Structures are given as C-alpha cells and as structure tokens.
C-alpha cells in the first residue's frame, strides 16, 4: 500500500516565493535569483514530504503564479497580445499581471475562483484559431530535478477536459477544441514517460460537477487516445461526490482512480466495488482544505475493510492538493497548547497518512488512538460554546432578515442625505499599505510601540488618505484601512471564538497570501471594531466616508471553520457580530456602510442540486447584518472574481443598495448576465484592474463605462476600481484614480441633462 500526495503548498514555509516574486517584479532581483528560490522551495517540499512518510511526492504542482497558467504555457496557448514577449518568465507574468508599453496597455488574463476555493486561477483564453505548441521543458526539468534528489515522484498535470471546461471560448462549443488538445496531451504524456516515471496523475476535478452527456462522452474519446504501456495514469477527482459519473469513469482506460471521501458525504465504498479489478484505488481520507486533526480511528474503521479487499491496490492520500492548507504547525509557537492539539497543517497531514498506513498494515490501532484523542476532547471543550450566542440565534425572527423599506424608497432618502452626483465615484476600501504602515503595525503587535503612539500613527495615515481622496475628487471616501492586515484576519483578531496564527499562510493568487483565522467556537463581538477609526475619518471631511466591513459568508469562507456544527449556524453567529458593528457605525454618524461579500459565489456548493439550501441561508446571513438600519443609511457590498450567472438571484436577494463588482479583466463581458435579469439596485462595475501595475488611460475607462451604460441605467451606475488598492503603489494609485474621476466627470457632463429630464 502506498501513501501519496496530490500537491503541496508552493509559497514556502515563510512565504519565500512571495518575497522573491515581488522583488523580481520591482526590478530588485534577477530571474536567476527567482529561479533559485523556486528550486529551493521545491527541494524543501519534496524532502518534507518524504520525511513525513510520503511514498510518491508530486512534481509539476509548483507554479510561479498559477498551475492553470502553467498548463496554458505547457500547451503553448499564449494569448495573441503576449506572443511578442520572447522571455518565458516575462511572458508568464504579463499574462498574469498585464503588460504596459510606451504606447499601449495589454490587460492581464481574466482571473476567477478555482471551483469553490479561495484560490484564483488565470482563465485560459481560447479561440477558433487556437494553435497548440507543446513545451514540456519546464516540467521535464522539474521531474529530473526531483530524481536527482532521490525523490520517488509522480508528475501532476491538469486534464484536458477540466482545462477546456474552465477556459474562456467565445466561438461556440469548447469541445470543438478537443481534437487539437488530444495530440498535445499525447506528446506531454510521451515526454513524461521518457523520464522513467511509473505514474502520471491527471487531475479532472470537473467530475465533481453535474456534467452534460457531451462532456462525459468526450472523456471516453479523450482517454482512449491516452492509453499507453509506457506510463500508468492515475485519474484524480476531488472537491465532491463522483458517484453520478461512475459509469463513465469505470470505462476509462486508466490504471487508477483517486476519490475524495471527505468533501461530500456519499457511499464511496460501493463505488470501489464497481471499479475494474486491476485498478489502483486512491482514497482521499485526510481533509486537504481544513486544519483540523483527523480522527484516524474513525477513518481506520472505514478504510480497513476496503484494504482487506484491495490489499496493495489501495493507496491513501489527502482529499485534494494540500495547496489550500498551511505548511507546518510546528512553526506556531503562540497558539495555546489545547488549540494546537486540535490542528494539523500540510506536513502533519502527510504524517497522518503515514500513521494510518502503519495502523492498517499492522492492524494495530494503539498509535492512532493516542493521536486522535484531542479530536474527541475538542467536541466537549467548554471554550467552543457560548450560551448567550446560542440563545440569540434561537431568538431570531423573520423580521430580522429584511429591511423595512423598498430600494426605490430608500434611494430617495439616501440621495437627500448624501447629495451625490450622477456617476458617483468611490473606491472599494483599502489604499496602498506601505512598508512604513506595515512596520507600525508590527511594532505595536510586538510591544515596541505604545497604543497611544500606534493610534497617532494610524490617524496620520487616515488623514493622509482622506486628503488624497479629496484632492483626486472622489465622491464617497474611505479611511484606507491602514490598521488592517487582511479583510478577514482583521475581524478574526477582534471576534471571540476565533484564533489567529503566525505562519498559517495559504496562497490566494500569485504572490498574494492570506492567513485565515481559525473559527474554533461560537462567534461574538465583545466591543466595537472599526467605529473609532471611521468616526475620526468622517471628522476630517464633509464628504461621506464609507464604513468598511467584511460580510459573514466571506469571513466564514476565508477562515478555517469548525466542522462540528452546520456552516449556516456559524454564518448567522458572524452576521450578528457584524450587525452589532453596523448599528454602532450608524449611531456614530456613518451613513454609508459597505459589507463585502466576495466569497458568496465560491461558498456555493458545486452541484446545482445542493445550491438552493445554501442560497437561502447565505442571503439571510447578509440581510441579518443590515436589516435594522434606517432607510437613509446606504448599504454597499462588493464582489470580485466570481462568475455571476448562476448566482444572480442570490445577489439580488441580498438587497444591497449598491453592489460593486469586478468587470475590467473581462472587458465588461460579465455584465451580459444582467441583460436577461437587470440588477434592480445601483451597480458599480469595476473600471480598472487593481491586480495589475498598469495605469488605465481615460479612454480605456470611458470605453468600459460606455459598455456599462448599454446594460445599466445611468442613474444606477457607480464608478470604482475592481477591488481594494492595498497592493498598489501610491504613485500609480493617484494617477489611476484621477483618470477614473476625470472619466466620470466627462460622462456626468454628457448625461446630466438626460438624467434631469428623466
């Protein structure tokens, strides 16, 4: 029996890749230095996995930016606007971040969520003239690199059907391109086979979706073409129940199948009995997406009967790639002993697999019984329950989930209160966080800066942000969030029932890493979180300053959440905490409050049959936050990098007065969803991509707004960037926002008479 891994975090235990990338992008280090850092991370990752007991370590799971982009480069499917860039690394980062020359700007490829995770991938851009040019050099080099370190490897690639399914193709049926991809994948498989690897893992996570017949038929056509005696293919599925597609899967000419037994409850044992008798069966029995220690005794009881049937044909692995997990719990020296005993990060998950393997082979459960003891004590620990929170949840009434006035009535009183012009301008919340600001926060946290001095420094930065916004001419201002490390971590630090780690970083996209809070108990707010900062900001200007909060679904989704109660209950607990903050902001005179929900789509179950229940409790949680405010208080929400087609009814049901969304990377194409069902309230389509260093020209912004006007009534359009400006530099931020405001003013002059006549 083998223990293997599907993928490992690529950022490095101390985010070495992040810092190397950003240094390279800023021109402070060479490509050789970047590649050296990457090589060191791969070496450390392989050694860590081998030391933890992994028999087959993945290779090909490393990426400078994104593994889907890696596949695009592997296939040579570079968008036309980037093909003139000769250097491979420069081309890769241009696709991911955009490029800018003296005379023109090329937008980065669109970016969206990887299934229902908080990881973002670069959407492949395909067209009818797609020409495949396979280049396996980087992958083969990494395979040889692992072999030189005596690592028993299993190369990993994304399968052709998943790649096509996730791509952007506007010329008809995506499957029309399969004929071009099949020979390309045949070449890739042949090149990998020449390295002497016994196994190749091909990831096809779309099997967790409800696929149409044409896609299932395509699997048969495709994988028959891959049949070879030169290398054995392990088909890897994850993120959900695959039982509805088992008739298709079991007929594929592969040598093994990986099954995620964790994400969704289903009878995976019966599936195992239906599979070909010569297949390797890999069971994903350790949760690859959360941080809770596994009850290995319980898993043993489920897996041991299968082992008695399969013997050496049984492999054990995590449910999915450990990309979504922090790296090593041993780095956490500040978590209390009890909480620490409940957790397992990527390294520890590999060790869990080895412990389970030993117990199954030896038929001795003594070691895993001792290991699993904290899992049981967690369920009865007094620190996970709060009687007051549970009583408050139980006392909720239908009126707690609905505002008392309709949007049309609210819009009238809000306009009277705010007196905003046509095409009002605002930002999404954060402003550039300089090294000085980060140093101030760090010094305060380390006790080297007093609370009074810290407050003084943060107030200086807020005053600076307010002054810059007034100089630029924005209509609704923000305080810039200099006190916040991250939009979720900041609130996790303030809420009871949550813990914050030192090094539990996970990759969100590129060099962007987040440190999710751990929600281990009932959630409550003990005191106001943002009120004093917002009161101070509002005192500096006559323009409205927007209160900035993170919504309950996003806090839920971007945290490591307890798994002993329903997620819907946790979301309502968070919503009540945010509701209290909203009420205090309103009392403090803040008339515009934004409750961000960028995770509302990713939290939705992948299968449509399970989405209605989620939609109900998710929308109720958001409305619970804002239902008690006055009609004159304007509630905003923000969403980014999500496809809205499937969730438009959910978005409408939120009943936010203003919704701001990411649209610039798609060139406003995402607004087409509103053609059939218009958004009834105000809408702010993002007019420039803040994840790119490009400064948008006024003509670019205006042409985007002209497209927006074709879909959205002019009285309902807001003008804003795609997302927060935290990662940008001040110089580019001021120029970009100035161009944005100038564009809005031009449109305002053009359409003011039309709006007045209406």
114 is in an annotated binding site: no
First to last CA, the chain: 73
State how far the Cα of 610 lies from the Cα of 118, in Å rounded to an integer. Answer: 19
Q: For residue 490, what is the DSSP state?
A: H
528 neighbors 547 (Cβ within 8 angstroms)? no
What is the DSSP code (8-state) at residue 686?
B
| Residue count of the chain | 758
640 is in an annotated binding site: yes
Do 182 and 134 form a contact (C-beta atoms < 8 A)?
Answer: no
For residues 578 and 495, the answer to whether their CB atoms sit within 8 Å is no
- The answer to whether the annotation marks 602 as part of a ligand binding site is yes
91 is in an annotated binding site: no
CA distances from 11 to 69, 215, 368 (A): 16, 34, 30
**Is there a binding annotation on residue 430?**
yes
Please tell me the distance from the alpha carbon of residue 758 to that of residue 411, in angstroms, as a whole number: 15
Task: Say whether 118 counts as a known binding-site residue.
Answer: yes
Consult the annotation and say whether 18 binds a ligand: yes
- Other Cβ atoms less than 10 A from the Cβ of 416: the count is 9
Burial 99-108 (b: 16+ CB within 10 A, else e): bbeeeeebbb
| Cβ–Cβ under 8 Å, residues 165 and 174 | yes
Distances (CA, A) of 541 to 466, 475, 478, 545, 752: 7, 11, 11, 8, 26
Answer yes or no: is 4 a known binding residue: no
Residue 252 in 3-state DSSP?
A: coil
User: What is the Cα–Cα distance from 485 to 746, expressed in whole angstroms?
Assistant: 36
d(CA 607, CA 622): 22
555 marked as part of a ligand binding site:
no
* CA torsion angle 198 89 47 54 (round to 10): -40
Both tokens of 617, joined, read 């409790």
User: C-alpha angle with apex 88: 87 to 94, nearest 5 degrees?
Assistant: 90
Q: Is 445 annotated as a binding residue?
A: no
Answer whether 230's CB lies under 8 Å from 193's CB: yes
Helices (H), 593-644: 611-626
Active site residues: 691
Query: What's phi and psi for 66, nearest 5 deg?
Result: -160, 140
- Residue 455's contacts (CB-CB under 8 Å, 6 or more residues apart) are none
For residues 392 and 388, what is the distance between their CA atoms, to the nearest angstrom? Answer: 6
Q: Is residue 558 a known part of a binding site?
A: yes
Whole-number Cα distances in Å, 576 to 529, 568, 599:
14, 13, 18
| Nearest of 710, 639, 672 to residue 170 by alpha carbon | 672
Q: What is the CA radius of gyration of the chain?
A: 26
Q: Name the pairing type of β-strands 99-100 and 506-509.
A: unpaired
Annotated binding residue at 16? yes
The residue among 668, 667, 641, 670 whose CA lies nearest residue 79 is: 667
Cα–Cα distance list, 359 to 263, 285, 355, 653, 686 (Å): 24, 14, 6, 50, 54
Helices 346-362 and 296-310: crossing angle in degrees, nearest 10, is 50
Q: How far is residue 220's CA from residue 657's CA, in Å, rounded to a whole number?
A: 48
Cα–Cα distance measured from residue 652 to residue 635, given in angstroms and rounded to the nearest whole number = 13
CA neighbor of 585 nearest in space, from 681, 684, 479, 458: 479
Angle at 29 between CA 23 and CA 35, to 5 degrees: 90
Give the C-alpha separation, 87 to 76, whole Å: 14
> According to the 3-state scheme, what is the secondary structure of 284-320?
EEECCCCCECCCHHHHHHHHHHHHHHHHHHEEEEECC
498 in a labelled binding site: no
Q: Is 512 annotated as a binding residue?
A: yes
Phi, psi of 126 (to 5 degrees): -120, 155
Residues making up the annotated binding site for 5-methyltetrahydropteroyltri-L-glutamate are 15-18, 113, 118, 512-513, 558, 602
Which residues are annotated binding-site positions for L-methionine? 428-430, 481, 596
Binding residues for Zn(2+): 638, 640, 662, 723
Q: Which residues are annotated as a binding site?
A: 15-18, 113, 118, 428-430, 481, 512-513, 558, 596, 602, 638, 640, 662, 723
Residues that constitute the known binding site for L-homocysteine: 428-430, 481, 596
């Amino acid at each position: 029996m083998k223990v293997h891994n599907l993928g490992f975090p690529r950022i490095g235990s101390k985010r070495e890749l992040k810092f190397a990338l950003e240094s390279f992008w800023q021109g402070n280090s060479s490509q050789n230095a970047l590649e050296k850092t990457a090589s060191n991370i791969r070496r450390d990752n392989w050694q860590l996995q081998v030391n933890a007991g992994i028999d087959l370590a993945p290779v090909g799971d490393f990426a400078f930016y994104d593994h889907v982009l890696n596949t695009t480069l592997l296939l040579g499917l570079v968008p036309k606007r980037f093909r003139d860039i000769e250097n491979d690394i420069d081309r890769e980062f241009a696709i991911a971040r955009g490029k800018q020359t003296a005379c023109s700007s090329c937008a980065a490829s669109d970016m969206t969520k990887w299934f229902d995770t908080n990881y973002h991938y670069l959407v492949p851009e395909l067209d009818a003239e797609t020409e495949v040019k396979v280049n396996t050099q980087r992958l083969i080099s990494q395979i040889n690199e692992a072999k030189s370190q005596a690592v028993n490897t299993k190369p990993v690639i994304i399968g052709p059907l998943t790649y096509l399914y996730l791509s952007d193709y506007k010329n008809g049926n995506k499957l029309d391109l399969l004929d071009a991809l099949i020979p390309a994948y045949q070449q890739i498989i042949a090149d990998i086979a020449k390295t002497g690897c016994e196994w190749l893992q091909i990831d096809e996570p779309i099997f967790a979706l409800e696929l149409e017949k044409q896609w299932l038929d395509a699997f048969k056509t495709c994988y028959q073409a891959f049949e070879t005696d030169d290398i054995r293919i392990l088909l890897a599925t994850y993120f959900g129940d695959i039982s509805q597609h088992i008739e298709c899967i079991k007929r594929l000419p592969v040598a093994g199948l990986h099954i995620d037994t964790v994400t969704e409850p289903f009878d995976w044992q019966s599936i195992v009995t239906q599979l070909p008798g010569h297949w390797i069966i890999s069971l994903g029995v350790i949760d690859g997406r959360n941080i809770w220690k596994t009850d290995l005794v319980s898993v043993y009881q489920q897996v041991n009967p299968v082992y008695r049937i399969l013997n050496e044909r049984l492999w054990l692995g995590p449910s999915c790639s450990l990309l979504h997990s922090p790296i090593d719990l041993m780095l956490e020296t500040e978590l209390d002993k009890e909480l620490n005993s409940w957790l397992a990060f990527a390294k520890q998950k590999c060790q869990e697999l080895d412990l389970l393997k030993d117990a199954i082979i030896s038929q001795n459960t003594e070691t895993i019984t001792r290991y699993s003891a904290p899992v049981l004590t967690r369920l009865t620990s007094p620190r996970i329950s709060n009687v007051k929170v549970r009583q408050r949840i139980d006392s909720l009434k239908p009126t707690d989930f609905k505002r008392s006035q309709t949007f049309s009535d609210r819009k009238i009183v809000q306009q009277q209160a705010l007196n905003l012009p046509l095409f009002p301008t605002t930002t999404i919340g954060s402003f550039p966080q300089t090294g000085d600001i980060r140093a101030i926060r760090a010094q305060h946290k380390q006790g080297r800066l007093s609370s009074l001095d810290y407050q003084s420094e943060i107030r200086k930065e807020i005053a600076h942000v307010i002054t810059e916004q007034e100089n630029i001419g924005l209509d609704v201002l923000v305080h810039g969030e200099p006190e916040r490390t991250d939009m979720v971590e900041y609130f996790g630090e303030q809420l009871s029932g949550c813990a914050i780690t030192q090094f539990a970083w996970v990759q969100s996209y590129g060099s962007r890493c987040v440190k999710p809070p751990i929600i281990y108990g009932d959630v409550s707010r003990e005191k106001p979180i943002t009120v004093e900062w917002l009161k101070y900001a509002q005192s500096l200007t006559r323009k409205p300053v927007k209160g900035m909060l993170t919504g309950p679904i996003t806090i839920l989704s971007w945290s490591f959440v307890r798994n002993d109660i329903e997620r819907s209950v946790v979301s309502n607990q968070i919503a009540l905490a945010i509701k209290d903050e909203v009420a205090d902001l309103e009392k403090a005179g803040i008339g515009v409050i934004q409750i961000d929900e960028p995770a509302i789509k990713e939290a939705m179950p992948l299968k449509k049959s399970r989405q209605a229940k989620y939609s109900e409790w998710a929308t109720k949680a958001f409305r619970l936050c804002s239902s008690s405010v006055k009609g004159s208080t304007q509630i905003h929400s923000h969403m980014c990098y999500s496809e809205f087609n499937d969730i438009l009814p959910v978005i409408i049901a939120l009943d936010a007065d203003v919704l701001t969304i990411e649209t610039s990377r798609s060139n406003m194409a995402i607004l087409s969803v509103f053609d059939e069902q218009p958004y009834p309230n105000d809408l702010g389509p993002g007019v420039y991509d803040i994840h790119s260093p490009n400064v948008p020209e006024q003509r670019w912004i205006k042409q985007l707004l002209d497209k927006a006007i074709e879909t959205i009534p002019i009285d309902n359009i807001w003008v804003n960037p795609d997302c927060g400006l935290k990662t940008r530099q001040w110089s580019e931020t001021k120029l970009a926002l100035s161009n944005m405001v100038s564009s809005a003013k031009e449109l305002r002059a053009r359409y003011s008479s039309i709006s007045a006549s209406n």
